[in-house]
Structure 1
Amino acid sequence: MFDHSRGVLFPSRLPAFHRFAPPQAAEELVQWFWLPEWNLEPGVVSRQTVVSYPALNLVIEPRGVSLVGATTRMSERTLQGSGWAVGALLRPAAVHTLTSDASSLVDTEQSFRAPDLHAQVVAAMGSASDRHEKAVDIFARWLNTRAGSIPSVVQHANTMPKVLIGEGGANTPAEAAVRLAVSLRTLQRMTHRYIGLPPAAIIRRRRLQDAAHVVREQPSVSLATIAAELGYTDHAHLTGDFRSVLGFTPSDYRTESS
């Protein structure tokens, strides 16, 4: 159902990684759940490099629970030994119940107090069978209970992810505003409240994810063609976007990922 590698710059370096559609109880709250696990030999290091989706995540790990904000740059994490995480890519309806200021979390994370949720997910992940499904079900039910009834204004905001980062998403903030039947100013307030980034930055991030995927997976397609098909002004615009967020050019990325 999901492309597990979208947003991951070097999929061959991934440990075991899964994405799950949310159970019905959490469909209005979560875009999907994600779950990496690793058990590396002593001395082995796995360096994960990701262009994250422009959204907040609630993440459970053995050490605790964190609310992670949207990012404006590439993120890296070095894995060693063994471990796991269970994360939820949040929709506005869930963000509404967890923080009143998504913009304060941009490029950072904060500890989130949810001891019962943490204990139950840790116990589920320690089971031998169906641990992924059990952990996701516990997580979904906890979010659903916390959210309760979703206000109508938040339900409207919940349509933003599809318009801004979904397949066939809007190419400009103005187009996104039209699709959502709101003014551009209202759209800006919505993204600030529930994601923490302006609409243009969210669209750029989706386009960069798409570009990285095509550069890596379709080596025969020219960079100029990729730029044109994804709405970049030209090849130089694509290269500039890569440099500013990732720190390298599309050509360098294509070479390293081949």
Structure 2
Amino acid sequence: MRQVFDGAAPVTQALDDGPTLGIVNPARARDRFVLARVDPDPGLADLVDWHWVITWDLPPGVTFTQAVVPHPVGQVVAEHTGFLAYAMPAAAVDRRTLSGAGGVVGTKLRPGGYRALLGLDRPGERGAVGPALVLGPTADRTGAEAIAQARRGRPDDAVRTVTPLLLAAAESARTPRSTAALAALAEAFAAISDAVPGTTVAALAASLGTTPRSLQRLFADWVGVSPKWVLQRHRVHLAAELLGRDPALDLAGLAAAVGYYDQAHFTGDFLRAVGVAPGEYARTCAAALG
């Protein structure tokens, strides 16, 4: 199973404390695993969005499958099989089934960070998973130490354990070209997050002082999806987040609030990304909230 869990971060944050963009039905997950989010070292701020640390301890014979609507980024993850690098997922919904007891220590890269950190000449094949060789020969041992810290309830220590490997890899990987691309992408993604409902790629490009074609080329070369795809995914993430917090929201009003001109278009995009229609998603979230 793929290993991607997402959210948003202040310094260290638990699942109950803030936005859960991408986590499907977060209320259902709260008693199944513990998620902490940790800000990166300043030396990694251009490449790393945040670190996430997950631990779980389920009763014998009990399993739990968590679904995530992925963000358009790669990850590096310390897990029991080793330290792995994950490109942007290929599937619309990513799932991980948990059983027994365990932990993982993940690093969510910034848009374009997967290509930059791994020193690739393209964004990477969607769905690709392999050893995080860029972190060096001690990565698996260091990852195991980080997981042990996580399972002792010390997510900050877990992140501090893997940070030197990431800093060394980042220092070796940075180039003037990647630095410029990551800065441009950071500005573009910030603009997408702040965009008013109904923002088009042309309007986004104009706000960034570039052309739609140049923006599309930047995304194709470093992210692997189009600006239009990212705008759409952001709207779905936001809609799912709002429904997860208040399942009683009017769906037509929600569609308009996140940038859709008609509810049918919103329903189609939501269904393709999340796997269920907004109304069904709201019902499952309501049941989880009790």
Q: TM-score scaled by structure 2?
A: 0.80
The counterpart of 1:163, out of the listed 180, 188, 193, is 188
Q: Which amino acid aligns with 1:190?
A: L
Which AA in structure 1 matches 2:180? H
Counterparts of 1:101 and 1:48, CA distance in 2 = 33
- The yes-or-no answer on 1:96 pairing with 2:112 is no
- Cα shift readout 1:109-167 (whole Å, capped 9, x = no counterpart): 23332431221131233247674222212333222212227434333322424533663
Q: 1:178 to 1:132 in 2, by over 3 A?
A: same
1:214 aligns with 2:233: no
| Secondary structure of 2:138 counterpart | helix
State the match for 2:24 in structure 1.
9
**Does the Cα contact within 8 Å between 1:29 and 1:90 map onto a contact in 2?**
yes
Contact 1:69 1:102 in 2 (8 A): no
Q: What are the superposed Cα offsets for residues 58-91 of structure 1, whole Å, 9 maximum, x if unpaired?
A: 1111211222122350111111111111111112
Cα distance in structure 2, aligned partners of 1:199 and 1:174: 10
Q: Which moved more, 1:34-43 or 1:150-159?
A: 150-159
Residue pair 1:103, 1:197 contacting (<8 A) in 2 also: no
User: Matches of 2:257 and 2:132 in 1, distance apart?
Assistant: 41
Q: Give the distance between the partners of 2:125 and 2:181, measured in 1 at CA.
A: 19
Q: Is the contact made by 1:29 and 1:143 (CA closer than 8 Å) also made in structure 2?
A: no
Q: CA deviation at 1:248?
A: 1.5
Match of 1:138 in 2: 161
Question: Against the structure 1 CA distance between its residues 125 and 248, is the aligned structure 2 distance closer, same or farther, given a 3 Å change threshold?
Answer: closer
Task: Specify whether residues 102 and 43 from structure 1 end up closer, same or farther in structure 2 by C-alpha distance, changes over 3 A only.
Answer: farther
Q: 2:147 aligns with which of 125, 128, 145?
A: 125
Secondary structure of the 2:162 match is helix
- CA deviation after TM superposition for structure 1 residue 230, in Å: 0.9
- Over 3 Å counting, the alpha-carbon distance change for 1:143 and 1:250 in structure 2 is same
Map of 1:45 onto structure 2: 63
Question: What displacement does 1:209 show?
Answer: 0.5
Classify the secondary structure of the residue corresponding to 1:115. Answer: coil
Residue in 1 that maps onto 2:6: none
Q: Which amino acid aligns with 1:168?
A: D
What SS does the corresponding residue of 1:148 show, helix, strand or coil? Answer: helix
Cα displacement (A) at 1:4: 5.0
Residue 248 of structure 2 aligns to a residue whose secondary structure is: coil
Partner of 1:112: 132
Partners of 1:36 and 1:169 in 2: CA distance:
31
Q: Which residue of 1 aligns with 2:42?
A: 24
Kindly tell me: are residues 81 and 136 of structure 1, through their superposed partners in 2, closer, same or farther at Cα, counting changes over 3 Å?
A: same
- Number of positions where the alignment pairs a residue of Structure 1 with one of Structure 2: 258
Q: How far 1:232 moved relative to its partner?
A: 0.9
* Structure 2: distance between partners of 1:102 and 1:9: 30
Distance 1:253 1:45 in 2: 21
Deviates more, 1:108-117 or 1:68-77: 108-117
CA contact (8 A) 1:47 1:78 kept: yes
Are the equivalent residues in 1 in contact too, given 2:219–2:225 (CA < 8 A)? yes
Offset of residue 103 of structure 1: 4.4
Deviations 1:189-221 (A, max 9, x none): 222232211111112111110011112212332
Contact 1:56 1:89 in 2 (8 A): yes
Question: Which residue identity does 1:247 align to in structure 2?
Answer: G
Identical-residue share of aligned pairs (%): 28
Report the Cα distance in structure 2 between the residues aligned to 1:64 and 1:243, rounded to whole angstroms.
Answer: 34
Partner of 1:56: 74
Counterparts of 1:251 and 1:200, CA distance in 2: 25
CA contact (8 A) 2:74 2:114 kept: no
